Chain A
Amino acid sequence: MRPARRRRAAPSPAARAASYAVLGCWTCVVLFPLYWLAVTSLKTPIDVFGGPFYLPFVDFHPTLSAWRYIFVDLRNDTLRPYANTVVVATTSSVIALVLGSAAAYGLARFPYRPRLGAILLLGGCVALAVVALSLSVPLPAAVLGAAAVFAAVWALTRGRFRRSVTNDDIAFWMISQRILPPVAVVIPVYVLFQRLHLLDTRTALVATYVASNLPIVVWLMRDYFRSLPVELEECAAVDGASRYRIFWSIVLPPSVPGLVATFLFVLVFAWNEYLFALFLTSARAQTLPLTVAAQNATRGPQWWYMSVLILIMIVPVIAMAIALERYMARGLLVGAVKG
């Protein structure tokens, strides 16, 4: 890649000591809450309410009863949300990565000039379908009707629209979708899945998470692809390779670091997502954040169970973050610098 840079000069001993002091403080700030979580998961209710005890074996007797309760007594109520979270988060992240990096590649390499009129027309037709739906027209009829209107108007006015939008406009529109507060979207999405009889299914969650994570993937990967040299692709095109083949065997392999970082990023979003899961699932497709939140039951928050749940929830992502930390910074940086 780049030629090796010269190393920075080492700081003076005094500066070094001060730096370590500050960094050590922040390490405590980060790690103490996690330590407290681990300690609390080993406590009985009496230990928790008896006052703060800090060291297992020293000022209280650790027990695995909370762990046993979560994994043995509540086995299915823990493992089902866990399986849901794993399946929904990984599936949605993989799909978002595939669709998003394809779109990002398109935006990085081909000039798109869609007519503004066509886009507005499409928007109008979607609005029409929504109005029809809210007047309780059945879904297939509404979709087909809107599609027919779109096709008819498009055919009639073909070639009259002059103004078109550019790649940058499309990319900005994509990322501007992150501005949409989920709360403005969630009730209509609820109604949509209700109509499709998909409420409380993993499919609904996967579809929602793919849509909400796609803009991030497109934004990060577009800049990544733009930073790759284009000559190799041109050579392959001269040799007769198709665009799909070029993308698969020439563009994707060197992009693995960016893909890994982006994947980790969207995976964490999907893994921890709360609001959509709260609205769209109730029992069967419930994910872990809801299980954690539900521990604040009628008897008040049960810290010992909650600590176990939070711990088993964060261990996989933390393990991944530690393993992939190098990729993470670079992948994020590329997107942020160009943005």
Chain B
Amino acid sequence: MALRSDERRGPPLRGADPAVRAARAPEGLGARLERWSPWAFLLPAALLVLLFSLFPLVLSLYFSLVRLTFAPGGFRLTFVGLANYATLLAGTGRQEFLGVLASPSPPGWAALGLAAAGLAWWLARAAGGAVSGPGLLGRAAVAAAAGAGLWLVVSTLAPHGRPGSLVVTLIYVAAGVGVEYALGLGLALLCAQRLPGRRFFRVVFLLPMMITPVGIAYLFRMLTDTGKGPFTPLWKLVGLSSFSWVNDPWGARAAVLIGDVWQWTPFMFIVLLAALESQPVEPVEAAVADGASGWQVFRHITFPAILPVSSTLVLIRMIEAFKIVDLPNVLTSGGPGTATESLTLHAYVIWRALDLGGSAAIAYILLLVVTVAAVSYVRLVHRRAVEAA
């Protein structure tokens, strides 16, 4: 306080009066700060994100084109071009990455045929309609990618095939997001009714989302143990006491999926519930008064209303689900063999084996897959869902 009053009493400096200074100089510090304020708001965040995305992307691309070798006194990076990608797609890494391809079973052929017909019809309709030029080209690319992906899935899941980490990741994403959405929607619909004690359910259902995936993985390792886990009597009852979830490829994948569903259903639930509760009740009441059944109300009123939110949720979860790593790493260590290995885990495993280039190549392919999936989803499904509302 004393200091301040001393300052006040001191002789006024020449030109210290703000009005005088503003008149003399075209722009004072305050005005300049004000003029640049939009950039002051945006730039710190934008530059930080730019640095942490661009720099690693460039460096990762470089790593994916080199091979790490140990030389006397350190290591050396040798430029090998696209060899790392070739190893994954056609060389020694192919079994682990793409899997073992076999000729599809009859149902597999049927699914492929149906999908091909569907894609062709969709392209033909787009070509005959208003879509043209770049849009058509984009659709053709999407159709090609979807067809290739489906062919890979069908032929690795055939009797003598074995899915690699790419297909396993796709399975996690498709099955996980689908089940989570269905469960989350069902629970949200139930909780949106006027029931006493709703708040209890809301809070309880939220909990799994808060738990670290590593913890969930150990938790489900305990629970799926058929010898000492809590469900042992149940396994004995159905004669599966010697069956080990984590030693059977599909059992292990199911265990990973159950953990994932347990953790992420709450996310779908909580947002869908909020969306349902923010819908007006009048249209529903009018429909019920006109004699609409519960299913009709859901199909024609409730579901269209929550479609945009649903679409965004699926997009967010899809993007995050592609990155799954903690659960398979801890729950099954990627095993048996490589049966539960996701792409991120695959990249980590071969990074640990000091194959820097191969790891970066997998990361880049994962980035490509997620980007293609996300962009086609946004363009073809999400926009339509949002516009329809």
Residues of A within 8 A of B (CB): 5-11, 15-16, 19-20, 22-23, 26-27, 29-34, 36-37, 40, 48-52, 54, 99-100, 102-103, 105-107, 110, 112, 122-123, 126-127, 129-131, 134, 170, 174, 176-189, 191-192, 208, 210-212, 214-215, 218, 242-244, 247, 268, 271-272, 274-275, 288-289, 292-293, 295-296, 301, 303, 306, 310, 313-314, 317-318, 321-322, 325, 328-330, 332-333, 336-337, 339
B204 within 8 A of A: yes
Question: Which of A10, A100, A126 meets B55, CB within 8 Å?
Answer: A126
Tell me the nearest residue of chain B to A291, going by C-beta.
Answer: B214
Q: Is the CB of A134 within 8 A of B34?
A: no
Question: Which of A49, A123, A275 meets B228, CB within 8 Å?
Answer: A49
Q: Is the CB of A103 within 8 A of B45?
A: yes
Q: What are 12 A-B pairs with beta-carbon distances under 8 A?
A: A11-B195, A123-B54, A179-B367, A179-B370, A187-B60, A187-B360, A192-B55, A329-B274, A332-B271, A332-B274, A336-B316, A337-B312
Q: Is the CB of B44 within 8 A of A333?
A: no
B105 within 8 A of A: no
B293 within 8 A of A: no
Q: Is the CB of B363 within 8 A of A134?
A: no
Question: Which of B37, B60, B191, B288 meets A23, CB within 8 Å?
Answer: B191
Q: A192-B55, A292-B218, A318-B207 are in contact. Are A211 and B48 (CB under 8 A)?
A: yes
Tell me the nearest residue of chain B to A7, going by C-beta.
Answer: B194
Complex Cα distance, B277 from A330, in Å, reads: 10
Specify which chain A residues have a CB less than 8 angstroms from the CB of B362 in the assembled complex. Answer: 183
Specify which chain B residues have a CB less than 8 angstroms from the CB of A184 in the assembled complex. Answer: 56-57, 60, 360, 363-364, 366-367
Q: Is the CB of B42 within 8 A of A103?
A: yes
Question: Distance in Å from the Cβ of B287 to the closest Cβ of chain A?
Answer: 12
Complex Cα distance, B211 from A274, in Å, reads: 12
Question: Which of A29, A321, A333 meets B275, CB within 8 Å?
Answer: A333
Complex Cα distance, B3 from A181, in Å, reads: 55
Specify which chain A residues have a CB less than 8 angstroms from the CB of B320 in the assembled complex. Answer: 178
Q: Is the CB of B221 within 8 A of A301?
A: yes
Question: Distance in Å from the Cβ of A282 to the closest Cβ of chain B?
Answer: 14
Q: Is the CB of A179 within 8 A of B374?
A: yes
B81 within 8 A of A: no
Question: Which of B214, B222, B285 meets A36, CB within 8 Å?
Answer: B222
